[in-house]
Amino acid sequence: MAKIGIFDSGSGGLSVYREIHKLLPREQYVYVSDSAYCPYGGRTREEIEYRATVISEYLIGMGCELIVVACNTATAAAIAFLREKFPSVPFIGMEPAVKPAALATKTGVIGVLATAGTLKASKYLDTRDRFSDGIKVIEHVGQGFVELVENGILEGPEAESTVRESVAPLVESGADFIVLGCTHYPFLRPVIEKVAAELAPDREITVIDPAPAVARQLVNVMAQKNIPSSPEGEEGSIDLYASGDLESLRRIYKLI
Ligand code: DGL
C-alpha cells in the first residue's frame, strides 16, 4: 500500500485529491492544508519555499513515499527547490493546462485564471511561451476566489458577482477556453461556467481543470519508481491536517 502526501495552502488541493482517488482509491493519504499561511498567492518565493519544506518534512516523517504539491502557486515557487532538498522523494506538481487549450481553441484566444504568484513565476511563463505560438493568452487573477472556497461559498449571488469580475475580461477578449490555474478554482467551476455562458451565450466556452492529468501523472510516477498501488480488498484512508483552521478543509472534504 502506498502512502501519499498531498498539500496545498488550504482546501483547494482536495480538487486534486478527488481525481487521484478516482484512479487510486485504496491508498493511504495524508493531506496538509497550510491554512495558517493561506493564501499563498501574494507571498514571496522564499516564504513559500520555507512553508513547502516544513510541510514536506512533516509528510516524509509520517512515512509518505510520494508528495503531490496540489497547489499551482507552491509548484511554481518551490517544486525545484523541494526536489533538490529531498532527492529520494518523488514530487508531483501542478501544470496549468495551457497546451490542451492552445491546441483546441477555435477563437485563437484562451484565458488563464491563477494566483498572482503563479502568473509571474517563470515555471508558468515558460509553459505559456512554449505552447502559445499564434494564439492570444489572456491572464487574470481569480480575485477573491480562494477566500470564497475557504469560506464554503461555492454558489449564489456573492460567488457569482466575485467570479464575474475576473471571468468577464477573459470572455470579453474572445476566449473559448478557460484554464483553471489554481486548485481552489475547480470548486467554483459551476459558477465559472454559468457566468461565462451568461456573458457569451453564443460561444461555447470550455473550462479546463488539470487535476485529472496530474492524477494520471502520479500513477505513471508510481509505476516508474516501482511503488505498487494497493490490491483489491484494501481499504483506502485519508488523514486531514491543517496548520491553522481545520474547519474549512473538513467542510470541502464533505462535498467531494
Ligand atoms: N490553491 C493554490 C493554487 O493552486 C493556492 C491559492 C492561494 O493560496 O493563493 O495556486
pLDDT digits (tens, 9 = 90+) for 175-186: 999 999 999 999
Is the full-model pTM beyond 0.95?
A: yes
Whether the predicted pLDDT of 64 surpasses 90: yes
Pocket flag, ligand 1, residue 11 (CB < 6 Å):
no
Whether the predicted pLDDT of 32 surpasses 90: yes
User: What percent of the chain shows pLDDT beyond 90?
Assistant: 96
Pocket flag, ligand 1, residue 71 (CB < 6 Å):
yes
Between CA 239 and CA 159, with CA 31 as vertex, the angle to 5 degrees is 115
Pocket flag, ligand 1, residue 142 (CB < 6 Å):
no
- Of the residues 30, 52, 55, 71, only one is catalytic, namely 71
Whether the predicted pLDDT of 24 surpasses 90: yes
- Of the residues 6, 32, 178, 182, only one is catalytic, namely 182
Pocket flag, ligand 1, residue 214 (CB < 6 Å):
no
**Beta carbons within 8 Å of 112's beta carbon, 6+ residues apart:** 96, 98, 119, 128, 137, 138, 139, 140, 178, 179, 181
How far apart are the CA of 223 and the centre of ligand 1, in A?
28
Q: Report d(CA 76, CA 95) in Å as an integer.
A: 9
| 182 catalytic residue (yes or no) | yes
Pocket flag, ligand 1, residue 56 (CB < 6 Å):
no
Whether the predicted pLDDT of 246 surpasses 90: yes
| 71 catalytic residue (yes or no) | yes
How far apart are the CA of 211 and the centre of ligand 1, in A?
14
User: 4 and 217 in contact (C-beta within 8 Å)?
Assistant: no
**How high is the pLDDT of residue 106?**
97
How far apart are the CA of 89 and the centre of ligand 1, in A?
22
How far apart are the CA of 183 and the centre of ligand 1, in A?
6
